[in-house]
Amino acid sequence: MREEYGAFQEAGAEIVAVAVADASTIDRGVRAVINPPYPLLADPDHKVAEAFGVYELLSSNYAAPSVFVIDTDRSIVWSYVGRDRSDRPSVATILENLP
Amino acid sequence: MSRNWSVLGGVLLVAVGLVLAVVLVGPRMVAPEPTQVSPTETAGASPLESPLPEPDAETGELAASVDGFPITQAYVSKTVRLNRVLGALSGASVLGERETLERLVRSQVILNGAPPVDEPTEDEVEGFISSLQRNWGVSDATVVARLEAEGLERGFLEETIRRLLTVQAAVDSLETEGHNLSQWLREQQQEAEIWMIEDPADPDKTELDGAEESVDPSATEETSLATEPPASGPELPTMAPAFTLERAGGGSFDLEDRLSEGPVVLVFFERCA
């Protein structure tokens, strides 16, 4: 993923990951393990997940794994909602759909 | 219908979906009792022609077999119980036996097909378990007690985490080699000799294809909801709502601020364990 991160940066896009969890939990659980180069955001009240329509799509208390490509005017130019926990689009697919 | 296996989430998903990802982990295989096998041929897979491994002292009824690697029902049961323990600690939902089995099969397909990778060290396994415990705010003794209540030993947790990390390393290795993981997995599953017992809850369902099968029985549409979701799909916004969120490790992130610099790829993942 680190390698692919560079491809996103070259395309002028930023990856941002959001979890329905508080920041300290993410900090301990994710940053401590993988420390990714992109921002990890805490959405403990799941307001953002709800606003994007992906909260509890698959199971209670969870945001469905999903990807939104947001252009600079805030329009969502591409999106992908996983059908299960391991369903994610490929990096190449996301890159192809960057504005 | 297609289901792309995690690529973007390759690293992220496993680390984040700590508990749930545990079910990706395959068993330390114990040999089956071939006479008790009631296998079902996998779609696209050739019949299992090679003999099953010799049974040993720890024989059990076979739940599945992947290229001769058996997955016993006893192991599936243990994995389900482990996930019950972890789910109770983390508040995560717990997968059923069937879904657990399917994930075990999928992880075995990965382990069989990916280039060999080093197993994680004891320190890495223990470090992972420690990070889980810190997340949950529980002591090791509590975890051990919960495991014992389910008839499990800590060693099974260690073994499962070791397997999880090995699968993850295999996935990383494939990514490094430039594979499209979803495509790779589909091909592997078509080539693999996969046997699985029939699902007693669904006698008509006799196929397993992790790349094609829907885990969510209510989901029937394509997974890719490019801009315009199908009518039956979730209602997704066409404009991103403005938000500011706290950033792990300090600071905050404001979407609009960041959009002034360029597009943003927003990735939701499941709640941390």
Assess B264–A contact: CB distance below 8 Å, yes or no.
yes
Q: What is the pLDDT of residues B112-136, one digit of tens each?
A: 888 888 888 999 999 989 888 887 7
Q: Which residues of A touch B266 (CB under 8 A)?
A: 16, 18, 52, 67-70
**Interfacial B residues in 233-252 facing A (CB < 8 Å):** 233-243, 245-249
Residue B107 lies in a domain: yes
Residue B3 lies in a domain: no
Q: What local confidence, expressed as pLDDT, does residue B200 receive?
A: 53
Q: What local confidence, expressed as pLDDT, does residue B50 receive?
A: 33
Q: Which residues of A touch B227 (CB under 8 A)?
A: 76-79
Residue B125 lies in a domain: yes
A1, A57, A90 ranked by CB distance to B12: nearest? A1
Shortest alpha-carbon distance between residue B56 and chain A (Å)? 34
- Tell me what ipTM this predicted complex has: 0.94
Instruction: Look at A12 and B255 and tell me if their CB atoms are within 8 Å.
Output: no
Instruction: Look at B248 and A40 and tell me if their CB atoms are within 8 Å.
Output: yes
Mean pLDDT of A2-11: 78
B182, B264, B272 ranked by CB distance to A13: nearest? B264
Mean pLDDT of A28-40: 74
Q: What local confidence, expressed as pLDDT, does residue B188 receive?
A: 86
Q: Which residues of A touch B9 (CB under 8 A)?
A: 65, 86, 88
What CATH number did the domain enclosing B47 receive?
1.10.4030
Q: What local confidence, expressed as pLDDT, does residue B6 receive?
A: 34
Q: Please say if the pLDDT value at position A89 is more than 60.
A: yes
Q: What phi and psi values does residue A17 have, to the nearest 5 degrees?
A: -105, 140
Number of domains forming the structure of chain B = 1
**Interfacial B residues in 28-87 facing A (CB < 8 Å):** none
Assess A6–B contact: CB distance below 8 Å, yes or no.
no
Q: What local confidence, expressed as pLDDT, does residue B39 receive?
A: 34
Interface mutation vs chain A, best among B232, B265, B270, most A CBs within 10 Å: B265
- Is A2-96 a domain of CATH 3.50.50.60? no
The range of the structural domain enclosing residue B180 comes to 9-222
In chain A, where the domains are located: 2-96
Residue B115 lies in a domain: yes
Q: What local confidence, expressed as pLDDT, does residue A55 receive?
A: 85
Interface mutation vs chain B, best among A67, A79, A91, most B CBs within 10 Å: A79
Which residue numbers in chain B have pLDDT < 50? 1-58, 202-232, 272-273
